[in-house]
Amino acid sequence: MKIKYAVPVVFFVALVIIQKENNIISRVSDKLALKQTPQTPIHAGRSGSALARRNVSVPSLAEPSSAFTLMKRHLERYRKRQLEAAPIINGRKDILLLATTRTGSSFVGEFFNQHGDNMFYLYEPLWHVEKMLTLETGGTNATATAKAYCNVLRHLFLCDFSLLESFIEPLPMDHITASLFRRESSSSLCQEAVCSPFVKGVYERYRCRNTRCGPLNLTMASESCLLKEHRAIKVVRVRQLEILRPLAEDPRLNVKFIQLVRDPRAVLSSRMVAFPGKYKTWNNWLTNKDADIDDNEVKKLKSNCDNIRMSVELGLRQPLWLRNRYMLVRYEDVARSPVNKASEMYKFTGIPFTPQVKDWILKSTQVSKENRGLYSTQKNSTEQVEKWRFSLPYKAVQLVQKVCGSTLKLFGYRFVTSEEMLRDESISLIEDFL
């Protein structure tokens, strides 16, 4: 008993000693301190906003990433505990893959989509919710969307499409829709059991690729979902892990959260290519010497980084409601060894890793050069993962480092201090994870 408490105490004392070194360490250890005191209720929201109110310190560039070291140690401990505590138990699992755009989430989502007959996989169902709740200003009311996201996900994990239906435009009639976003990305929605007879003359934008099916009958989808053992949903729209707490606490569900993150510099680079319209002001700033960067763009970038960082901090803190339910994955590690990472994710969820998934990964990561889809990028992973280093102007890299510094540090992405360093491939910008 005594030893059991002594270990965290020693660890905490050690933390206090190094606390003065670094602002970020103190933030993480604050949380660890909270965790060591069971009587203290943890209000993620409160500590989250307290964090946000503090000035973001731009870490000095030469400094080794001590926040990352700390997180690594923390991860090791919780992972060990997780493996001890979570043997593969039979029973249903609800997997939620949380990411943001351009972090490789489609690729990682496939790890579950390819699982086989036991898995019901949905790709971005929240697209409809966000679309309907988008205000005239182009933004959304964060409180309202968070609530809707959580409720829709809860219904979907229970194989109930009724709430999602109310967000689909045009509104489905008799539970039939020709407009479900990216239907073809869910193999579960194009299987025979969900494939109603093809109807001539009905245009379906997101129709099944390999099978000719009629518009989606959501009653059939729901019936098929209920017959599957596990469910997995991929989302890029949830900003804060915290809003999903009701899912973890719902006794009808058994949710496992997998959060996928990627170097914000790489994400920016990829988004500028993927959404040139949205990044017009960035491009203007980068190409025009006299142009200033739009304040709002910087704020958006900062808020994205902060949201991801706060979600990860919450996940790693492992409050009771998240215990054994949270896994953090860096896209760079997936790209380096996709099969190992996929197998680790399966181990975490407690679902056996199937040969189909492994075969799919091997096949997809060995696509020839001329077939330059998303998955072909895996061939020379090191090269692909670091491609942004040659496309993103140094000026933009500096800005991301300034605005997202604490996020970079926490996840183990190294800062560059010169353009030469940025372009020098022999210098790795990724700290080794576990």
Ligand X SMILES: *[C@@H]1O[C@H](CO)[C@@H](O)[C@H](O)[C@H]1NC(C)=O
359 or 425: CB nearest ligand X: 425
* Interaction of residue 176 with ligand X, rule CB under 6 A: yes
Q: Looking at 111-119, 322-330, 376-384, 391-399, which segment touches ligand X (CB under 6 A)?
A: 376-384
* Interaction of residue 55 with ligand X, rule CB under 6 A: yes
* Interaction of residue 211 with ligand X, rule CB under 6 A: no
60 or 380: CB nearest ligand X: 380
CA–CA gap between residue 98 and residue 306 (Å, rounded)? 15
If you ran DSSP here, which 8-state letter would residue 212 be given?
-
Residue of 10, 83, 144, 202 that binds ligand X (CB under 6 A): 144
CA–CA gap between residue 407 and residue 401 (Å, rounded)? 9
**Residue 172, preceding peptide bond in cis (omega within 30° of 0):** no
| Cα–Cα nearest to 122, from 179, 165, 180, 166 | 180
Q: Cβ(207)–Cβ(183) under 8 Å? A: yes
Residue 330 token pair: 């860096």
Shortest distance in whole angstroms from residue 216 CB to ligand X: 10
Residue of 49, 60, 141, 356 that binds ligand X (CB under 6 A): 141
Tell me how long the chain is. Answer: 434
124 or 386: CB nearest ligand X: 386
C-alpha distances out from residue 199 to 187, 190, 206, 217, Å: 20, 15, 15, 12
* Interaction of residue 254 with ligand X, rule CB under 6 A: no
Instruction: Sketch the per residue contact string, 327 through 366, with ligand X: x for CB under 6 A, - otherwise.
Output: ----------------------------------------
Using CB under 6 A, which residues numbered 183 to 202 contact ligand X? 196
10 or 226: CB nearest ligand X: 226
CA–CA gap between residue 268 and residue 122 (Å, rounded)? 26
Residue of 66, 219, 281, 398 that binds ligand X (CB under 6 A): 219
**Any long-range contacts for 196-201 (C-beta under 8 Å, 24+ apart)?**
196/220
Q: Cβ(92)–Cβ(253) under 8 Å? A: no
* Interaction of residue 114 with ligand X, rule CB under 6 A: no
Helix (H, G, I), strand (E, B) or coil at 176: strand
- Residues of the shown chain interacting with ligand X in the complex, contacts defined by CB under 6 A: 55, 141, 143-144, 174, 176, 196, 217, 219-220, 380, 382-383, 425
